[in-house]
Amino acid sequence: MKRRMICSGVEWLGAVDWNRRLFDSLIPLPDGTSYNAYLVRGAEKTALLDTVDPPMTDVLLRQLADVPRIDYLVSHHAEQDHSGAIPIILRQYPEAQLVCSPKAKTLLIDHLDVTAERILTVEDGQKLDLGGKTLLFLHTPWVHWPETMCTYLPEDQILFSCDFFGSHLAFSELYAGDDPYVLQAAKRYYAEIMMPFRKMVAKNIEKVRVLDLKYIAPSHGPIYDRPQQIIAAYEQWVSEQVSNLAVVAYVSMHGSTEILVNYLLAALAERGVRVQKYELTSTDIGKLAMDLVDAATLVVGTPTVHGGPHPLVFAATNLANALRPKLKYVAIIGSYGWGGKAPEQIQQLIPNLEVELVGTVLCKGLPRQNTLEALDVLAHQIAQKHAALGQLP
């Protein structure tokens, strides 16, 4: 794709990666992604904001073929999907200074072997004048790493936000418009990347929401031409409010845990609790993470394997703990053959979650009537908790 004009002196460039299916060797990318960079040209100076993932460097170099000089290469974030092509751009433009936050300086040196002499660090609120275009740097830590910052261009009311507000979407339309799928993709991205830092993200939202904004231009996914929509969505996601949703994540080896899950799911639904079921041998963990953004309850279902939870349950619970969703309640259900400590081990896996354990229902082998009755009690307790939160319809 060629460079695309956003407004006079400001262009999108970068790479759309339609085929990528996994990020960080962890995160599923059902819709690919993009690595957006931006070129800002003032009357006197030219700045390139961010670069691309290293395998896409040739795309960026072709887009820059007719750009004779870059004075500033701004790095908002040292992660390689945005910074990976920095060494090649610095070689191509020997006059360019690499502009970043003080915390990014050591990361860029450590990860990319950039020489310190090429780096100009900028403080929060510092400006660079390009001649009729001003780059105002805003330190926004933990969207996604501790060094992250954004750039605001007041003359054109554009916030260049890098990972902040991004979405893993390959696109042909440069602008998000009203497309609800972009918001869904942004929610998935928030869940995977931003949710562990929810309280810091909230502070950064406060910092940018006071700006006059025509566009938010992230470094993944389309540009927001209705920026208040994505800001409002983020405000909802980082808020303390949870929804009437129980996420059931489970594995069943020989069908007993599946019976428990299906019984509890129906019992919750009968009581007005919305349920989303995730069978972990085939689950898209990004979708599971997205539901954890505002779910009130997590139900973990597991058979007992060698005295503990199934390894896939172990991994999913560990991931939920790392993502730190604002869950309020957790319940554990499952079946065992002759004993084990699966519930105790699951509880030990979630120290980051500020949750109340509503109940544990276990059975030996197949569930009998007393187990099903215990599941009814558990469903009733979860429904009561949701009602107390004002979440039942």
Binding site for ligand FEO (CB under 6 A): 77, 79, 81-82, 144, 163, 219-220
CA dihedral 235, 241, 245, 248 (to 10 degrees): 90
CB nearer ligand FEO, residue 23 or residue 137? 23
The Cα 388–Cα 370 span in angstroms is: 27
User: What single letter denotes the amino acid at residue 376?
Assistant: D
CB nearer ligand FEO, residue 11 or residue 163? 163
CB nearer ligand FEO, residue 77 or residue 139? 77
CB nearer ligand FEO, residue 71 or residue 79? 79
Phi, psi of 273, deg, nearest 5: -90, 125
| CB 112 to ligand FEO: min, Å | 14
Asked if 349 and 318 count as a contact pair (C-beta separation under 8 A), the reply is yes
Q: What is residue 291's three-state secondary structure?
A: helix
| CB 144 to ligand FEO: min, Å | 4
| CB 189 to ligand FEO: min, Å | 9
Number of H helices, E strands in the chain: 12, 20
Asked if 300 and 331 count as a contact pair (C-beta separation under 8 A), the reply is yes
CB nearer ligand FEO, residue 33 or residue 229? 33
Q: What is the DSSP string of 254-293?
A: SSHHHHHHHHHHHHHHHTT-EEEEEETTS--HHHHHHHHT
| CB 79 to ligand FEO: min, Å | 4
| CB 173 to ligand FEO: min, Å | 20
Q: Which residues contact 302 (CB under 8 A, 6 or more apart)?
A: 250, 251, 257, 309, 310, 313, 332, 334, 342, 346
CB nearer ligand FEO, residue 11 or residue 192? 192
Asked if 182 and 222 count as a contact pair (C-beta separation under 8 A), the reply is yes
46-49 and 33-41: which strand pairing?
antiparallel
| CB 70 to ligand FEO: min, Å | 21
CB nearer ligand FEO, residue 191 or residue 331? 191
| CB 149 to ligand FEO: min, Å | 13
CB nearer ligand FEO, residue 133 or residue 220? 220
Residue that the structure tokens 């983020």 belong to: 234
Burial class (CB in 10 A: 0-12, 13-18, 19+), 26: exposed
The Cα 281–Cα 10 span in angstroms is: 46
Other CB atoms within 10 Å distance of the CB of residue 273: 24
CB nearer ligand FEO, residue 20 or residue 386? 20
| CB 166 to ligand FEO: min, Å | 7
The gap between the terminal CA atoms of the chain, to the nearest Å, is 48
Give the length of the chain.
393
Phi, psi of 277, deg, nearest 5: -105, 130
| CB 330 to ligand FEO: min, Å | 29
